[in-house]
């Protein structure tokens, strides 16, 4: 370990040792010995209900509406009562949620968990076929949705009972959500006793290249992942004490801008559940819009921004976003990819007082993987963070053999926060608890995880392995580049050649030779794109802002 990162590793040892707040032990799950936090909550409902103590404090603001913690939990309890008495929902019953980010989504989630049901967040970006697939795979007994999603479901072949958020879409067979939460019932809800391995949430993978897979997560998985988020906060404090002390002395209350989909881990866990538990306010965006985000940052004195790197880049690169707009920011972070150099530079110039953060995780691990915040992220922006203390890593070559230390290989992980198989029973990606992630990476001598790309994205040119993410990171340092995608193009001599698609601002006179020369200055010759296509259209990405390479190839390199 280097002198630079040694303080972090010392903090981990102190936080996770015997008797420490984040003590890590070995526990047996399905015959496997896995690392786990000994003091994590035993059920997700216990953690969710930790926010009840915050009473009249502001929890949510969405457009013109506001919700205090008391109002939120009252609505959730009324819905829980309805689910049991009218919806016939019992412990272990799957209940799907399909709507855009809005307070009703959050109320539905808490209500389902508090009656022992299985919450099934569906992709709100999906149309009839995608929603039908989610309902079919989950066997949901009830769907709680908004009017647009209900219209899509009606167009499908799936018949399901529904509770509709928008009153004009409800009817005799589909009661209205707001009628339920405005009812006069004033009782209390006692969550049923559950085994820690009882299913709590069924999520679906992002499905960038095929049918999304169901990921059934137990209460134990959820509580381990939430404890890991708490651990990250504690480690950040111990390794950035001066800056943290300044932040804690501030009189500005923490306010998080929720701009990523709730049907994925980053929005649901890192932003909603943790803030609910700790009594922090959330400002919900209907969908991501950089102009609206800037307006909210200014008007509401937002202190925490989280999103994909491309989202943070879009916001901070706006000329209107000034250092003055960032004066209240304490944290700004992105995950899912290394921090591009251009974004790291924007952090340093426009949000220098805020802690930058980054990380890597998966739906299958509830986002648990690697993370870092503060000066470690500032000085190592191309890394994806320090591995979680409850996550084991292994790196394998094409033959399934471990790679030497520091040499890239397919990342395999296992953890108490991770599933052991997919909901369908599929286990082709699992071996003795180890999940083959499909990502390629390595851990360096400082103990930091680096992500090189995807196994399936990998380009093989004349026997040399090329990871598109490295070239994409190079391209995004160009001033004219708003976004970039790199794919393999068939080549009779080399097998594959490197090709790129670069999004540029409208009206830009782009020159492919200048782009190629830029890459030649920073990359090995065999990694330099031989063809560059420019577009003014946004590149296709999914809800997690991952590039959809199949669509990009079909549109720009169909040959």
What's the pLDDT score for residue 416?
A: 97
pLDDT band per the 50, 70, 90 thresholds, residue 274? very high
Mean pLDDT in residue range 419-427 = 80
Note the pLDDT tens digit of each residue in 84-95: 999 999 999 999
Mean pLDDT in residue range 233-239 = 93
What value does the mean pLDDT of the chain take?
91
What's the pLDDT score for residue 24?
A: 98
The neighbour count for residue 456, using CB atoms within 10 Å, is 10
What's the pLDDT score for residue 243?
A: 77
Q: Which domains does the chain have, with CATH numbers?
A: 6-39+218-454 (3.40.50.12780), 44-204 (3.40.50.980), 459-556 (3.30.300.30)
pLDDT band per the 50, 70, 90 thresholds, residue 368? very high
Mean pLDDT in residue range 222-249 = 90
Euclidean distance between CA atoms 34 and 114, whole angstroms: 28
With a CB cutoff of 8 Å and minimum separation 6, the contacts of 21 are 15, 39, 234
Note the pLDDT tens digit of each residue in 467-504: 888 899 899 999 899 999 999 988 877 888 999 999 99
Report the run of H or E that residue 27 belongs to, with start and end. Answer: strand 24-29
Indicate the burial class of 86 (C-beta count within 10 angstroms; 0-12, 13-18, 19 or more).
exposed
Indicate the burial class of 505 (C-beta count within 10 angstroms; 0-12, 13-18, 19 or more).
exposed
pLDDT(169) > 70: no
Q: Of the ranges 157-166, 229-238, 244-253, 506-515, which one carries the lowest mean pLDDT score?
A: 244-253
Q: What are phi and psi of 59, to 5 degrees?
A: -100, -50
In this prediction the pTM is 0.86
Report the run of H or E that residue 107 belongs to, with start and end. Answer: helix 103-114
With a CB cutoff of 8 Å and minimum separation 6, the contacts of 64 are none
pLDDT(125) > 90: no
Print burial letters for 396-409: b (CB count within 10 Å at least 16), e (below 16).
beeeeeeeeeeebb
Note the pLDDT tens digit of each residue in 255-266: 999 999 999 899
Report the run of H or E that residue 364 belongs to, with start and end. Answer: none
What residues pair up with 409 in beta bridges, in sequence order?
A: 441
pLDDT(352) > 60: yes
Mean pLDDT in residue range 527-552 = 89
Euclidean distance between CA atoms 532 and 318, whole angstroms: 25
**At CA 319, angle to CA 261 and CA 326, rounded to 5?**
65
Q: Of the ranges 133-142, 198-207, 255-264, 331-340, which one carries the lowest mean pLDDT score?
A: 331-340
pLDDT(166) > 90: no
pLDDT band per the 50, 70, 90 thresholds, residue 178? very high
pLDDT(186) > 90: no
What's the pLDDT score for residue 337?
A: 64
What's the pLDDT score for residue 210?
A: 57
With a CB cutoff of 8 Å and minimum separation 6, the contacts of 504 are 480, 481, 482, 510, 534, 535, 536
Contact of 359 with 369, CB cutoff 8 Å: yes
What's the pLDDT score for residue 174?
A: 83
Note the pLDDT tens digit of each residue in 280-300: 999 999 888 999 999 999 999
| Most confident region among 203-212, 221-230, 509-518, 540-549 by mean pLDDT | 221-230
Here the tokens at position 465 are 């392995």
């Amino acid at each position: 370990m280097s002198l630079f990162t040694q303080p972090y590793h010392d903090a981990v040892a102190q936080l996770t040792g015997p008797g420490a707040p984040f003590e890590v032990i070995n526990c047996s799950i399905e015959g496997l010995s896995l690392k786990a936090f000994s003091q994590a909550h035993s059920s997700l409902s216990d953690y969710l209900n930790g926010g009840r103590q915050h009473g009249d404090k502001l929890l949510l603001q969405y457009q013109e509406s506001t919700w205090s913690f008391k109002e939120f939990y009252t609505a959730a309890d009324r819905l829980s009562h309805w689910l049991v008495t009218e919806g016939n929902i019992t412990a272990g019953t799957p209940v799907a949620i399909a709507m855009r980010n809005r307070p009703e989504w959050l109320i539905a989630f808490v209500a389902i968990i508090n009656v022992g049901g299985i919450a099934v967040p569906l992709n709100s970006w999906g149309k009839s076929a995608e929603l039908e697939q989610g309902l079919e795979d989950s066997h949901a007994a009830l769907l709680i949705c908004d009017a647009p999603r209900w219209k899509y479901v009606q167009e499908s072949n799936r018949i399901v009972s529904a509770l509709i958020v928008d009153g004009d879409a409800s009817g005799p067979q589909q009661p209205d959500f707001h009628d339920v939460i405005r009812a006069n019932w004033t009782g209390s809800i006692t969550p049923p006793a559950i085994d820690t391995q009882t299913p709590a949430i069924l999520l679906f993978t992002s499905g960038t290249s095929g049918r999304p897979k169901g990921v059934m997560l137990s209460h134990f998985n959820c509580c381990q992942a939430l404890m890991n988020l708490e651990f990250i906060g504690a480690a950040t404090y111990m390794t950035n004490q001066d800056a943290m002390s300044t932040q804690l002395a501030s009189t500005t209350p923490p306010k998080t801008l929720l701009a990523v989909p709730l049907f994925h881990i980053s929005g649901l866990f890192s932003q909603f559940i943790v803030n609910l538990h700790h009594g922090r306010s959330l400002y919900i965006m209907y969908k991501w819009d950089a102009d609206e985000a800037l307006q909210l940052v200014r008007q509401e004195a937002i202190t925490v921004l989280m999103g994909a790197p491309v989202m943070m880049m879009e916001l901070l690169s706006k000329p209107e976003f000034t250092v003055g707009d960032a004066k209240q920011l304490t944290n700004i972070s992105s995950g899912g990819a290394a921090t591009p150099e251009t974004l790291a530079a924007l952090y340093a110039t426009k949000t220098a007082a805020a802690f930058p953060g980054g990380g890597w995780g998966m739906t299958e691990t509830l986002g648990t993987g690697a993370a870092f915040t503060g000066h470690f992220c500032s000085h190592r922006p191309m890394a994806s963070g320090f591995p979680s203390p409850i996550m084991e890593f292994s790196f394998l070559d094409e033959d399934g053999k471990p790679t030497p230390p520091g040499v890239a290989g397919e990342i395999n992980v296992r953890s108490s926060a991770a599933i052991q198989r997919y909901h369908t029973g599929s286990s082709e990606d699992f071996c003795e608890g180890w999940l083959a992630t499909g990502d390629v990476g390595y851990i360096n001598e400082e103990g930091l995880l680096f992500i090189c790309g995807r196994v399936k994205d990998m380009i093989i040119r004349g026997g040399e392995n090329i990871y598109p993410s490295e070239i994409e990171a190079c391209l995004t340092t160009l001033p004219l580049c708003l976004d970039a995608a790199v794919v393999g193009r068939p080549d009779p001599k080399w097998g594959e050649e490197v090709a790129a698609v670069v999004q540029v601002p409208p009206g830009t006179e782009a020159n492919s030779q200048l782009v190629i020369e830029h890459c030649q200055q920073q990359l090995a010759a065999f990694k330099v794109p031989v063809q560059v296509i420019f577009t003014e259209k946004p590149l296709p990405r999914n809800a997690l802002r991952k590039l959809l390479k199949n669509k990009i190839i079909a549109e720009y390199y169909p040959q």
